[in-house]
């Protein structure tokens, strides 16, 4: 997914007090929109059930913050640290995470569309029971991330590290792993998830071990 998928108009100004916008949104029932937040550092706060529209977060750090059931539309996270944050149950549309730290971040039960994850550290990220439609992940570390019981539509994978990544009960038909590092993939005992996935010869040999197949030289 390229950056042009996100069409952000000219952001009028940069804000330096995220809490003020959150307070006004809750008091007035309005969206947080057309604003850029830079350099915010917030830990273990609750910002659930909010609506963000046309917002840029740049060089922001949000550690273990609760963003559950929050809607994000036309959003760019650039050079942000978001470890352990929860977006669970949210709606993310036309959103990009560029060079972000998303270790242990929770995207479970989200509806995510037209999203791009680019050069992100996403070890142990949780996408359980999430719908991913027309999304891409490029140059990301997905070590031991969870994609269990996901619904995928036009998911693009390119140059990702997928070591010990779980795809339990997630159909991988048409997902192209050929440019990725693919080791220790975790699926169900039936291995039905792999039907229709695209892999290279080296990866096929690795996956054959999961099926109990011994390849002789």
pLDDT digits (tens, 9 = 90+) for 90-148: 999 999 999 999 999 999 999 999 999 999 999 999 999 999 999 999 999 999 999 99
Phi, psi of 40 (to 5 degrees): -70, 145
Question: Residue 6: pLDDT band by 50, 70, 90 thresholds?
Answer: low
Domain boundary assignment for the chain: 11-208
Query: Is the four-CA dihedral 30, 59, 75, 72 of positive or negative sign?
Result: negative
* DSSP structure class, residue 66: B
- 96 to each of 50, 91, 147, 215, how far by Cα in Å? 18, 13, 19, 41
Element of type H or E holding 202: helix 201-210
- The fold adopted by the segment(s) 11-208 is Pectate Lyase C-like (2.160.20)
Whole-model pTM: value is: 0.91
* DSSP structure class, residue 187: -
């Amino acid at each position: 997914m390229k950056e042009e998928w996100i069409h952000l108009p000219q952001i009028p100004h940069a804000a330096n007090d995220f809490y003020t916008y959150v307070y006004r949104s809750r008091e007035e029932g309005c969206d947080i929109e057309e604003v850029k937040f830079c350099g915010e550092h917030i830990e273990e706060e609750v910002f659930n059930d909010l609506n963000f529209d046309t917002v840029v977060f740049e060089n922001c750090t949000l550690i273990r913050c609760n963003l559950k059931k929050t809607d994000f539309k036309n959003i760019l996270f650039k050079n942000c640290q978001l470890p352990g944050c929860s977006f669970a149950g949210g709606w993310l549309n036309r959103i990009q995470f560029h060079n972000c730290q998303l270790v242990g971040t929770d995207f479970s039960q989200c509806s995510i569309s037209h999203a791009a994850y680019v050069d992100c550290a996403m070890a142990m990220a949780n996408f359980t029971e999430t719908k991913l439609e027309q999304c891409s992940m490029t140059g990301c570390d997905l070590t031991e991330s969870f994609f269990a019981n996901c619904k995928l539509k036009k998911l693009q994978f390119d140059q990702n590290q997928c070591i010990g990544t779980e795809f339990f009960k997630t159909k991988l038909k048409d997902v192209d792993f050929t440019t990725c590092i693919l080791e220790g993939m975790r699926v169900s005992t039936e291995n039905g998830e792999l039907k229709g996935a695209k892999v290279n010869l080296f990866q096929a040999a690795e996956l054959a071990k999961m099926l109990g197949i011994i390849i002789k030289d």
